[in-house]
Amino acid sequence: MSIAFRSEGKLTVLLDPRRDFARAEIESEIRFDPLTGDSARICHFTGMTPQPPDMAALAAGTRVGCPFCPEQVNRVTPRFAPEFLQDYAAAGSAVVDGRLRRGEATLFPNLFPYDDISAVAAMSQAHFLEPAQLPVAVVADAIKLGRDFFAHCAAHRPGAADAYGLLTWNYLPASGGSQMHPHMQVALSGHPGNRLARELAAESAYLRQHGRCYTADLLAAERDGPRWLMEDGAAAWMVPYAPTGVMGDALAVFPGKRCVTDLSDVDIDAFAAALARLVGAFGAQGLASFNLSFFPDHAGADGGRHWLNARLLPRLYLNNALHVTDASYLQLLLQESFCMRHPEAVARQLREQLAAE
């Protein structure tokens, strides 16, 4: 095993106005991602208690005219061209009026696409899903529909097997989502995004050097440690050593799976149930908004360099009155993660909340 958890402690000396300008020493820390070496800053331990916006009021104010609600979705969302869905076949989902349906989920082309193949999955008939009580079947059906869409594309679109199936969910306003109604972005791209590209390159280098999958070694190093959360039957969950979000995040790893199309219905059901529990646990901390992204290899990948993972990132407004977001120059310009809680503290609090269910 060759996983190194590296950090640098920092100490600032100042005269603190909160203590009548007495001399004070304030600690912070820089951690380095064990795979890529990317740095993440852990500082500003203010003891802040997040205050989520009034979601009921937001839901009521955005319900009228929502393009993803049942009375609108068939009228205002695009349809796939007939040839695109020709010969589509997937147990549990079907083509209905130029769109894909499974349970309450409806998948259709993105009117504002991110790539050649870019779709949106409206996840539910309900305009608002309470984060503390996510319906597991609704979440699972949306993920399965995205998986089935990727599988169809891989089988029927030239070059699609070498593209990356990117499945993401931005929920509630602080996440950057453009609609209140729960929906996922479902895109197939030859360009997986800078972060995933860096990680895949680093995993290839690790495999060449050590002859093992990096993520397998990471799981062995983290199992039952201070950042470990649980296993759900499909994925192992932990809090990353070098966090991404201001209030921390959670990482799910699917051993032996490369991409979303490798997941069975049973895998997805188990993951959705665990995801709902963790969203609820973060919600109990006042963190109602979140981003969820799957990080895959391409479907045609070989060599065992990468295991599919998914990352749950709670989002918030640092100041509701001023609508201060949790992203600033550090993340957006310097591409440096910044977290106000130690990952070990995040994991401990999540474990306590999960155990209390």
Domain formed by 55-355, architecture:
2-Layer Sandwich (3.30)
pLDDT (average), residues 4-13: 97
Among residues 156, 197, 154, the alpha carbon closest in space to that of 300 is found at 154
pLDDT (average), residues 180-192: 96
C-alpha–C-alpha distance, residues 200 and 198, integer Å: 6
Q: What would the pLDDT profile of 99-128 be if each residue is shown by its tens digit?
A: 999 999 999 999 999 999 999 999 999 999
State the pLDDT at residue 229.
Answer: 98
Q: What would the pLDDT profile of 278-314 be if each residue is shown by its tens digit?
A: 999 999 999 989 999 999 999 888 879 999 999 999 9
| pLDDT surpasses 90 at 24 | yes
| pLDDT surpasses 80 at 182 | yes
CA distances from 308 to 191, 216, 232, 253, 294 (A): 16, 11, 15, 6, 7
Buried b / exposed e over 149-179, threshold 16 CB at 10 Å, is: bbbbbbeeeeebeebbbbbbbbbbbbbebeb
| Sequence-ordered strand ranges (E) for the chain | 6-16, 22-32, 39-42, 94-96, 99-102, 105-109, 117-122, 164-171, 183-189, 228-231, 236-238, 250-253, 289-295, 309-315, 317-319, 324-325, 337-339
| pLDDT surpasses 80 at 36 | yes
State the pLDDT at residue 46.
Answer: 64
Q: What would the pLDDT profile of 195-220 be if each residue is shown by its tens digit?
A: 999 999 999 999 999 999 999 999 99
| pLDDT surpasses 90 at 324 | no
| pLDDT surpasses 90 at 319 | no
Phi and psi dihedrals of 278, rounded to 5? -75, -35
Domain ranges for the chain: 6-42, 55-355
State the pLDDT at residue 1.
Answer: 65
| pLDDT surpasses 90 at 323 | no
Q: Kindly report the average pLDDT of the chain as a whole number.
A: 94
State the pLDDT at residue 47.
Answer: 66
Q: What would the pLDDT profile of 222-273 be if each residue is shown by its tens digit?
A: 999 999 999 999 999 999 999 999 999 999 999 999 999 999 999 999 999 9
The structure's pTM equals 0.95
Q: What would the pLDDT profile of 43-79 be if each residue is shown by its tens digit?
A: 987 667 787 778 888 889 999 999 999 999 999 999 9
Among residues 266, 275, 299, 76, the alpha carbon closest in space to that of 192 is found at 299
| pLDDT surpasses 70 at 18 | yes
